[in-house]
Amino acid sequence: WRRWLRSASAAAFWEACCIVLVLTLSPLLFWCLTALIAIMLKSKTFVKKTRSGGVMKIVREHYLRDDIWCGSEACTECKQESTVLQKDACIESNLCSYPHYLIPDTNVVLHQIDVLEDPMIRNVIILQTVLQEVRHRSAPVYKRLKDIIHEKEKHFYTFTNEHRRETFIEREPGESANDRNDRAIRVAAKWYSQHLKMFESDTDGLKVVLLTNDQGNKQKAEESDLLVYKCEEYIKSLIANPELVDRLALSSDDKNEITSSKVLFPEHLPLSRIQAGIKSGSFLQGTFRASRDNYLEATVFVQGEGEDSTEVLIQGLQNLNRAVHQDVVAVQLLPRNQWVAPSSVVLQDEGTAKDDDVEEEEEEKLVAATLMSSMSLKPTGKVVGIIKRNWRPFCGMLNVSQIKESTRHLFTPADRRIPRIRIETRQASTLAGQRIMVAIDGWPKHSRYPNGHFVRSLGGAGEKNTEEEVLLLEHDVPHQAFSQAVLSFLPKMPWAITPEDMVRREDLRHLTVCSVDPPGCTDIDDALHCRELENGNLEVGVHIADVSHFIRPGNALDKEAANRGTTVYLCGKRIDMVPELLSSNLCSLRSNVERLAFSCIWEMNHEAEILKTRFTKSVINSKASLTYAEAQMRIDDTTKNDDTTKSLRGLNKLAKILKRRRIEKGALTLSSLEVRFHMDSETHDPIDLQTKELMETNSMVEEFMLLANISVAQKIYDEFSECALLRKHPAPPPSNYDILLKAAKSKDVVIHTDSAKALADSLDVAKVDGFPYFNTLLRILATRCMMQAVYFCSGMDSDFHHYGLASPIYTHFTSPIRRYADIIVHRLLAVAIGADSTYPDLMDKHKQSALCNNLNYRHKMAQYAQRASVAFHTQLFFKSRGILNEEGFVLFVRKNAIIVLIPKFGLEGTVFFDGKDKTAPNLVYDEEGPTLTIEQHTFHIFDKVKVTISLDDSNIQHQKIRMALIDPVISGVSVPAPDVGPQAKKPKLDQ
């Protein structure tokens, strides 16, 4: 057998077998090769330089197919399971009387997204070429476009033209990428036209209309016999739609038409020159921050290496050079002999809509304001170019032009840092008195103001719902209803705990657990228990809602929660981070229902010293949902001795020890007045306003939440030193304490700020005889000196210290229903104790750091939105109160005013002494004090005063609380105390 295998006859045999095999299989091989060639175009090879200096060869294969369908329900040729584009695609138009689909090019999508979002615009084909270009050029527009595509009633269809054989084109030699993409759009439009012609008899002449604003692209499309219109031309042809016409962004022709021929601003430098200038050090890159008080002044924040940063002062229209708040700009420093000081006078833009010679008059105003300043000079510069615009739709009101029949008007944004915007609208009379949204289209160098277009109306100015919408939009708070994609990941009801849920979970339903929260709280994150162990020690548990059980990494629900970052609490309204089914039901630790929890359990001795700590996923059944007041009454009521009350007393006793120990280590006890509105249960308008009173039980809950957060922070950092999500509170720079030190010195009190402990000890002994409120005022001022606490990733930072809590490490674990940071911490802790599995993003420090940046931004904007809501409801309260007389304290002294705090209402207001309608008194400001002498009276910080409080609603968009001095009596300055009549009978209360 072996000899035969080596013989010639065997070789001949094997050769014959191979020939038979090839002849048998060749048709099959030929068919496979043909199919492969049919779907694959070819491979593209290029080389790329790596970071280390090497060269990497990259091969990309581009596949083409025949089975990419058109998406039209009129088509019978494409084998599509479902269609998006309607057969009867009719929009009433003077240009197109036949049914038609729209194909917008990239520039139309980028600049006319407001038009495309209108409900009237339907049956639109978005080409893959366009989608990819938009994605690269504008992330916000790309997101808005994707949202439109997901709206079924809009009938927007994405056609993958880059992978369909008939519509794919290669870039020709010498052809720019932009020209190639324009040609790809025309080729796809041509294919659609020919494809739909086959069904013309069944569709009443269904056609495809290409929309472009590019004259060259339009001309080439017409040469290819395509039906093509400019976007403005098509929109203006739509019948009975003036609002849609107003939404059109201005084209270049329109911009030139409404500006003067005179050049008002310097030309912006091209990006290439800006980059070269930044590299050489002749330009600085930074974020442009406009002043709220002076429209002719701004600062550019330049981030240096590490913690270093500088601010460059910009003054005057020419130097501001068309930059808008939060733009990223390039600035050039002026010579030192041209450096100036920040101005000290409030300047609001009240100029006309004209572009003629306004700058000379305005510069004079600015110079006059600057000369008054005695502050030191600051680095001063000018904007030479824009690196990145940060334009968004702005809320505000229309200033209707005095010229009859005029269609051009000025729009005044609600945010004083944004310049007025010139828009064109034919419905000015309708929009007058309404809050509207306007987007900026551009700011030519010939125009005093940027040009923009109307986006939508929000409702009547001053109306509660409208003003709430404005403050949410202005503070970028995501508040739209949760989408179906998000809601689809919620558990199906009725929901119950299953045996699978109990795997790796401890049953703690037998424990006497209770929750303590503010009145009306439905999103209960945390619950507590305390019991005595057989060995005489105490077991204390903090049980937190197990939100991460319901929100799994990477799904639509998780992405939405990560984007929102936090629940936002407005007066009488809550914007949830997660859907209500979770926030107020399945995750909320309500009493007498079984709930999933994540528990942190300590064994302590009676001196609150921790002997053991353990973490476990659990199931609990809360025995009581109490308010702070109810819990306090149980603790104080000696006749009560049930298990829940015993638990509360044990917790309260330990909390006092924990707090004392924290303060001894240097933790700060600061103060800020929080207000509570009492609402009319029918109108939901505020009818009473009080500062919140804190009880022992507030402190009790706070102490155990802090302890849990610290314990969890240490655990996740020990396990994941590179990717733990932590929270730090940086120590304030010494200059922050200037006002606190001056205020204390004015009352002969010394404050030490060398460390948190030195500050805490100083505040504890700061007293003034006969002035019991002095210490509270001092703590309020100390709070204003603090830095903002921030989230960070442990692998990206080395300073973990929390200054305010005097803790070396800290995180947020205890509020996952309302904070996304806590959900991430729960996931890290679950992996650390083996209760859940990890996933790549959780262990990626760069992604964790990017997430922290978004969370810090969302938390900051939520705080601003909450303050704006309190301010608006305060205005509503005083609107129905007329003029009130109240006692207060001077909190700050300015050059022409004092800022007064009214403790009763937790309200701050300004008493101005240089009103436009009266002769200014003799004012002498001493910066060292600081003090302000008016006539013969000198004001110091913390002086007691009496003022009138009223609402000034003369400017409906910027209503404000006005204060006027009653006491001390200063001739020509103070006002007589008005008579305050009896208040009307109080309506029904709804706290």
pLDDT number for residue 676: 64
pLDDT number for residue 62: 77
Contacts of 648-651 with C-beta under 8 Å, sequence gap 24+, read 648/514, 648/516, 648/530, 648/697, 648/700, 650/530, 650/531, 650/532, 650/538, 650/540, 651/528, 651/530, 651/540, 651/700, 651/704
Phi-psi region of 554 (alpha: psi -120 to 50; beta: other; left: phi over 0): left
User: Which comes out higher in pLDDT, residue 240 or 596?
Assistant: 596
What is the per-residue pLDDT across 35-59, written as a single tens digit (0 to 9) for each?
544 445 556 666 777 767 777 878 7
Cβ–Cβ contacts within 10 Å for residue 957, how many? 15
Instruction: Find how far residue 332's CA is from the centre of its chain.
Output: 30
Residue 693, SS3?
Answer: coil
User: Lowest-pLDDT range, 376-380, 422-426, 864-868?
Assistant: 376-380
Q: Do domains 264-342+377-390 and 393-460 have the same CATH topology?
A: yes
CATH class, 393-460 region: mainly beta
What is the per-residue pLDDT across 786-831, written as a single tens digit (0 to 9) for each?
889 999 999 998 889 999 899 999 999 999 999 999 999 999 999 9
> CA-CA distance, 381 to 297, in Å (whole number)?
11
pTM: 0.82
Size of the chain in residues: 991
User: Which comes out higher in pLDDT, residue 132 or 45?
Assistant: 132
What is the per-residue pLDDT across 871-880, written as a single tens digit (0 to 9) for each?
888 888 888 7
State the average pLDDT over residues 682-710.
80
Query: Across 95-99, 330-334, 569-573, which has the greatest mean pLDDT?
Result: 330-334
pLDDT number for residue 988: 41
Residue 310, CA distances (Å) to 42, 281, 286, 379 in order: 53, 14, 9, 9
pLDDT number for residue 466: 92
pLDDT number for residue 196: 87
- What is 904-953 written as a DSSP string? TTTEEEEEESS-TTS----EEEETTTTEEEETTEEE-TT-EEEEEEEEE-
What is the per-residue pLDDT across 838-861, written as a single tens digit (0 to 9) for each?
999 999 999 999 999 999 999 999
pLDDT number for residue 678: 61
Give CATH superfamily name and number for 882-967.
Answer: Nucleic acid-binding proteins (2.40.50.140)
> CA-CA distance, 828 to 311, in Å (whole number)?
38
State the average pLDDT over residues 388-403.
88
> CA-CA distance, 289 to 124, in Å (whole number)?
39
What is the per-residue pLDDT across 628-657, written as a single tens digit (0 to 9) for each?
999 999 999 989 999 999 999 999 999 999
Look at the domain 264-342+377-390 and name its fold.
Answer: OB fold (Dihydrolipoamide Acetyltransferase, E2P) (2.40.50)
**Are 876 and 685 in contact, with CB atoms under 8 Å apart?**
yes
What is the per-residue pLDDT across 216-248, written as a single tens digit (0 to 9) for each?
999 999 999 999 999 988 998 888 777 788 888
Question: Residue 197 belongs to what H/E stretch?
Answer: helix 177-197
User: Lowest-pLDDT range, 371-380, 596-605, 910-919?
Assistant: 371-380
**Are 936 and 973 in contact, with CB atoms under 8 Å apart?**
no
Residue 31, SS3?
Answer: helix
Question: Residue 236 belongs to what H/E stretch?
Answer: helix 231-237
Domain boundaries, the chain: 58-247, 264-342+377-390, 393-460, 484-721+809-862, 882-967
User: Lowest-pLDDT range, 74-78, 114-118, 803-807, 860-864?
Assistant: 74-78
Residue 46 in tokens: 């290029």
pLDDT number for residue 267: 93
Band of residue 972 on the pLDDT scale cut at 50, 70, 90: confident
What is the per-residue pLDDT across 423-452, written as a single tens digit (0 to 9) for each?
988 888 888 889 999 999 889 988 889 999
**Are 131 and 103 in contact, with CB atoms under 8 Å apart?**
no
Return the amino acid letter for 516: V
How much of the chain, in percent, has pLDDT values that exceed 90? 47
pLDDT number for residue 772: 85
pLDDT higher than threshold 90 for residue 709: yes
> CA-CA distance, 101 to 156, in Å (whole number)?
10
Q: What CATH architecture does domain 58-247 belong to?
A: 3-Layer(aba) Sandwich (3.40)
User: Lowest-pLDDT range, 41-50, 91-100, 490-499, 575-584?
Assistant: 41-50
pLDDT higher than threshold 70 for residue 564: yes
**Are 962 and 952 in contact, with CB atoms under 8 Å apart?**
yes
Instruction: Find how far residue 305's CA is from the centre of its chain.
Output: 26
Burial class of residue 27 (count of CB atoms within 10 Å of its CB; 0-12, 13-18, 19+): exposed
Calculated CA dihedral for residues 719, 722, 723, 729, nearest 10 degrees: 100
pLDDT number for residue 283: 93
pLDDT number for residue 9: 60
Nearest alpha-carbon partner for 76 in 201, 207, 162, 226? 201
pLDDT number for residue 372: 42
Residue 797 in tokens: 């930072």
